[in-house]
């Protein structure tokens, strides 16, 4: 892999790894995710695209909590190219040299090129480039350039092809293939330059695809022949090239769906086809939009390592998946880059992904939390179905907020997501001060989730405490436990948040709050009860050891020899033990109490954090991509620089090096967010601390300097940290004066950059 500031590229073609590389080179615009598949791929079981559209799912394969599951649909292949050279099919991999695939993160484009030699020895140089429009999201661009190195006859078809199935990537086989999946289109309507399909989903969603294409040889137009079949349409270009001649095909595709907000999709397509669009013009607008996105999002690391580009890749994919255009879809665990988890949304979103947007583009967080608000009724239904009250946000949801976890697979236990969503609401409010959001959406979420906890907590006469039993915390190797510290702590804060909000907003927004109380049947008594419960929720803790206990019985279990349990690096449950055996042992799948310390950096002492780290880390299998980043953050906070950097590396390169051998089934978005957090909260030590910005940097030895931007309390800051100083520059002022706390000192940040030399006060 080759790394450059804005470039990630690969110049070795490895057939066995190509499907996972397809995922790695995904581009997107939050509306569509497009894997880096080969345009020339024939529609076979091994290769049929990999394009996903936010919120578009079809009939799935297993029993979920409300009937059958759904699954993210592989869209029609809008980039399909059939290329023949001298009558021979160019497949893009079997007779190639000088192969190269490149992600340009600045322009958010993906390109691929190679030299092809026919059986007669004639050579052509082929290059593809594509982008998913950031300026105008329904517009997708594709450019194909074929340069003749010898005289050749070419035939090139540029198609929209609906003959695809889901990929069904198999992460567990070697080499990891894709299997034939479902084709989700029950009906197709194919015209000369457009096609539409109807999905087999409950809404009979209609998807529209149209294209405008041009072809030129050395700048001179090439005649087009129309192609049309039952499944596909497009243009065919035939031409004879002399050595040195260049065929350029440029295509803009328009995508629309009946699910789109406030848009008549069919009309939009007609408008597109009758209009005048060009690849170059669209691409320019697209690049401008990305420049603007990078302005706040980019982090520049001065280092001799590849970490600068690797971190940028993590951020890049977060920007690609981000649905800026709507508050009706959430960000799935694998984004729009693969089919694992059926495209569903988990707690990953609130706890791992949203913090990145929180500090770089808060409007995205508002939209994502509004998405959760839209699914509040589904969460209420889920609570009722399980004999609880309020809103029980399900564990794994589609865009309607309906539980998609396979039935009897632990969704009943994994309720910390309810408090995770409340946590994100509170953080958003604290850092942005967006009262309007709270009045319209946030407060109702907090109230209904607090109600859930009220109905889920059990008071015990034995100890006068509230217990939360039969839960599965972030440590999913627990099967179920009683009183998971993470869950209980988060639930207590969820319960407490209601009074905080009401106390705060009743003055400024009395009418809205009263209306809300009426709507919810809320009472001051109930709010007080929330607080009373919160104060009495048991947080398992060993006073003598100063240790947060993961749950009621964790420390009483037998210890596990992790080397024996995980001899090859494969997950424990894939190598030596059945899942059900794990509750016998002290074993943690992924950061649990460690994560809790990361989420509340100011609630725990350094000694408590150290105790947590040194007790649990040796017992943690890291059998999840959600484990590395919290460990990087906490170990950085307690001064374990080497360990922290080790975890950062595992996190930053997770998909780039396909560490968990399952990148084929989609990129790991929680981990991307975690990588960013490891830098922001970990190495740079930045956190919002009750109205102040706290900066406690601890850069890795291999890094000289980090420069980043962030939104904080309404201001936009540029922060530069090197080994000896912190520079804070307020690029945009918020409503209130901004105080930065560095090494115990509080500094007011004004118009001039603030420079603090590190170590001065020590």
Point out which residues bind a copy of itself (CB under 8 A).
386, 407-413, 458, 460, 462, 467, 469-470, 479-480, 482, 553, 556-558, 578-581, 583-584
Q: Are 60 and 191 in contact (CB under 8 A)?
A: no
Our CB check for a copy of itself shows the closer of 386 and 440 to be: 386
If you compute the radius of gyration of the chain from its CA atoms, what whole number of angstroms results?
A: 27
For residue 190, the minimal CB distance to a copy of itself (Å) is: 40
Tell the smallest beta-carbon distance from residue 459 to a copy of itself (Å).
10
With 0-12 / 13-18 / 19 or more C-beta atoms within 10 angstroms meaning exposed / middle / buried, residue 579 is: middle
Pick between residue 9 and residue 61 the one whose CB is nearest to a copy of itself: 61
Beta carbon nearer to a copy of itself, 558 or 690: 558
Instruction: In angstroms, give the least distance from the CB of 463 to a copy of itself.
Output: 10
CA angle 159, 165, 171 (to 5 degrees): 125
Q: Which is nearer to a copy of itself, 542 or 701 (CB)?
A: 542
Q: Which is nearer to a copy of itself, 227 or 579 (CB)?
A: 579
Contacts of 547 (CB under 8 A, 6+ apart): 541, 555, 608, 611, 612, 615
Q: CB of residue 563 vs a copy of itself: minimum separation in angstroms? A: 13
Q: Using the minimum distance from each CB to a copy of itself, give the nearer residue, 410 or 734.
A: 410
Measured from the CB atom, the residue of 357 and 585 that comes closer to a copy of itself is 585
- C-alpha to C-alpha distance for 369 and 258, rounded to whole angstroms: 23
Residue 557 CB, shortest distance to a copy of itself, in Å, is: 6
d(CA 473, CA 540): 13
Q: Which is nearer to a copy of itself, 554 or 713 (CB)?
A: 554
- CA-based nearest residue to 736, from 507, 327, 433, 362: 433
Q: Which residue's CB is nearer to a copy of itself, number 210 or number 471?
A: 471
Name the nearest CA neighbour of 137 among 291, 14, 260: 260
Taking the complex as a whole, the smallest distance from the CB of residue 330 to a copy of itself amounts, in Å, to: 24
In degrees and rounded to multiples of 5, residue 628 shows phi and psi of -65, -50
Minimum distance from residue 404 beta carbon to a copy of itself (Å):
14
Output the smallest distance, CB 467 to a copy of itself, in A: 7
In sequence order, the 6+-apart residues with CB closer than 8 A to the CB of 51 are 32, 33, 34, 35, 74, 75, 76, 77, 78
First-residue to last-residue Cα distance in the chain: 42
The rounded distance, in Å, linking the Cα atoms of 591 and 647 is 12
Distance, in Å, from the CA atom of 753 to the CA atom of 729, rounded to the nearest integer, reads 4
Comparing CB distances to a copy of itself, the nearer of 3 and 407 is 407
Q: How far is the CB of 226 from a copy of itself (least distance, A)?
A: 49
Tell me the torsion sign for CA atoms 639, 641, 647, 653. positive
Question: Please, what is the minimum distance in Å from the beta carbon of residue 585 to a copy of itself?
Answer: 9
Task: State which residue, 161 or 623, has the beta carbon closest to a copy of itself.
Answer: 623
Closest distance to a copy of itself from the beta carbon of 14 (Å):
32
State the residue for tokens 């109490």.
Answer: 593
Greatest CA span in the chain, whole angstroms? 90
Cα torsion 595, 600, 605, 606: sign: positive
Which H or E run contains 495? Answer: helix 485-508
How far is 104 from 6, CA to CA, in rounded Å? 6
| Minimum distance of a copy of itself from residue 412's CB (angstroms) | 5
Nearer to a copy of itself, 34 or 414 (CB): 414
**Least distance (Å) from a copy of itself to the CB of residue 580?**
5
- Which of 272, 107, 83, 239 shows the shortest CA–CA distance to 159? 83
Name which of 69, 146, 73, 149 is nearest 112 in CA terms.
146
Our CB check for a copy of itself shows the closer of 103 and 383 to be 383
Q: Which two tokens stand for residue 249?
A: 């095909």
* Min dist. Cβ of residue 436 to a copy of itself (A): 38
Range 200-204 contact pairs with CB under 8 angstroms and sequence separation of 24 or more: 200/58, 200/59, 201/57, 201/58, 201/59, 201/70, 203/258, 203/259
We find the least distance from the C-beta atom of residue 462 to a copy of itself, in angstroms, to be 7
**Closer to a copy of itself by Cβ: residue 413 or 486:** 413
Nearer to a copy of itself, 6 or 579 (CB): 579
Whole-angstrom Cα distance, residue 425 to residue 429?
6
Indicate the DSSP class of residue 242: -
What are 512's two structure tokens?
Answer: 């809205």
Cβ density class 153-172: b for 16+ within 10 Å, e for less:
ebbbbbbbbbbbbbbbbbee
């Amino acid at each position: 892999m080759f790394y450059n500031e804005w470039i990630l590229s690969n110049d070795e073609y490895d057939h066995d790894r190509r499907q996972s590389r397809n995922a790695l080179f995904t581009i997107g615009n939050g509306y569509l995710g497009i894997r880096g598949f080969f345009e020339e791929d024939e529609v076979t079981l091994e290769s049929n695209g990999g394009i996903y559209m936010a919120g578009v799912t079809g009939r799935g394969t297993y029993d979920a909590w409300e009937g059958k599951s759904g699954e993210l649909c592989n869209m029609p292949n809008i980039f399909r190219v059939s290329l023949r050279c001298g009558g021979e099919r160019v497949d893009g991999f079997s007779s190639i040299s000088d192969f190269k695939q490149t992600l340009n993160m600045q322009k958010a484009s993906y390109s691929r090129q190679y030299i092809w030699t026919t059986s007669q020895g004639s050579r052509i140089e082929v290059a593809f480039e594509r982008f998913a429009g950031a300026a105008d999201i329904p517009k997708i661009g594709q450019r194909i350039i074929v340069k003749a190195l010898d005289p050749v006859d070419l035939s090139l078809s540029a198609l929209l092809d609906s003959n695809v199935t889901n990929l069904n990537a198999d992460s567990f086989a070697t080499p990891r293939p894709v299997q034939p999946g479902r084709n989700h289109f029950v009906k197709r309507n194919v015209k000369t330059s457009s096609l539409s399909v109807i999905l087999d989903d409950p809404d009979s969603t209609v998807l529209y695809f149209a294209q405008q294409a041009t072809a030129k040889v050395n700048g001179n137009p090439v005649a087009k022949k129309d192609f049309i079949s039952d499944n596909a349409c497009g243009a065919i270009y035939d031409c004879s090239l002399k050595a040195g001649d260049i065929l350029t095909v440029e295509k803009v595709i328009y995508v629309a769906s009946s699910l789109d907000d406030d848009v008549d999709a069919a009309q939009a397509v007609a408008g597109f086809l009758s209009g005048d669009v060009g690849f170059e013009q669209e691409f320019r607008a697209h690049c401008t939009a990305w420049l603007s996105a990078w302005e706040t999002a980019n982090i520049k690391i001065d280092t001799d390592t590849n970490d600068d580009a690797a971190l940028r890749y993590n951020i890049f994919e977060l920007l690609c998946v981000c649905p800026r255009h709507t508050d009706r879809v959430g960000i799935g665990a694998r984004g729009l880059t693969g089919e694992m988890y059926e495209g569903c949304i988990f707690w990953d979103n609130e706890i791992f992904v949203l913090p990145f947007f929180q500090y770089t583009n808060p409007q995205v967080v508002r939209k994502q939390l509004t998405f959760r608000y839209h699914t509040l009724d589904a969460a209420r239904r889920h609570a009722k179905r399980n004999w609880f009250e309020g809103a029980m946000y399900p564990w794994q949801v589609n865009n309607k907020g309906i539980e998609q976890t396979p039935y009897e697979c632990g969704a009943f236990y994994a309720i910390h997501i309810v408090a995770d969503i409340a946590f994100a609401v509170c953080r958003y409010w604290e850092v942005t001060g967006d009262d309007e959001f709270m009045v319209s959406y946030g407060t109702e979420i907090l109230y209904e989730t607090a109600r859930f906890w009220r109905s889920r907590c059990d008071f015990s006469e034995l100890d006068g405490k509230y217990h939360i039993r039969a839960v599965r915390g972030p440590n999913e190797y627990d099967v179920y436990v009683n009183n998971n510290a993470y869950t209980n702590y988060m639930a207590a804060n969820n319960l407490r948040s209601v009074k905080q909000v009401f106390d705060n907003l009743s003055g400024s927004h009395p009418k809205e709050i009263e209306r809300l109380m009426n709507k919810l049947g809320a009472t001051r008594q109930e709010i007080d009860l929330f607080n009373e419960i919160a104060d009495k929720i048991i947080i398992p803790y060993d006073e003598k050891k100063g240790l947060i206990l993961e749950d009621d019985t964790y420390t009483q279990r037998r210890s596990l020899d992790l080397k024996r349990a995980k001899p090859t690096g494969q997950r424990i449950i894939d190598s030596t033990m059945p899942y059900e055996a794990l509750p016998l042992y002290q074993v943690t799948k992924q950061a649990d109490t460690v994560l809790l310390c990361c989420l509340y950096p100011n609630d725990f002492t350094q000694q408590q954090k150290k105790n947590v780290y040194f007790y649990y880390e040796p017992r943690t299998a890291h059998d999840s991509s959600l484990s590395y980043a919290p460990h990087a953050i906490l170990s950085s906070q307690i001064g374990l620089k080497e360990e922290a950097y080790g975890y950062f590396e595992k996190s930053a390169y997770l998909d780039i090096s396909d560490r968990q051998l399952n990148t084929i089934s989609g990129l790991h978005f929680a981990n991307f967010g975690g990588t960013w957090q490891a830098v922001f909260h970990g190495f740079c030590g930045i956190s919002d601390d009750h109205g102040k910005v706290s900066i406690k940097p601890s850069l890795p030895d291999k890094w000289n300097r980090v420069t980043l931007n962030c939104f904080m309390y309404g201001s936009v800051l540029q922060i530069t940290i090197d080994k000896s100083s912190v520079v804070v520059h307020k690029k945009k002022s918020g409503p209130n004066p901004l105080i930065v706390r560095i090494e115990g000192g509080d500094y007011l940040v004004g118009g001039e950059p603030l420079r603090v030399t590190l170590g001065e006060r020590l």
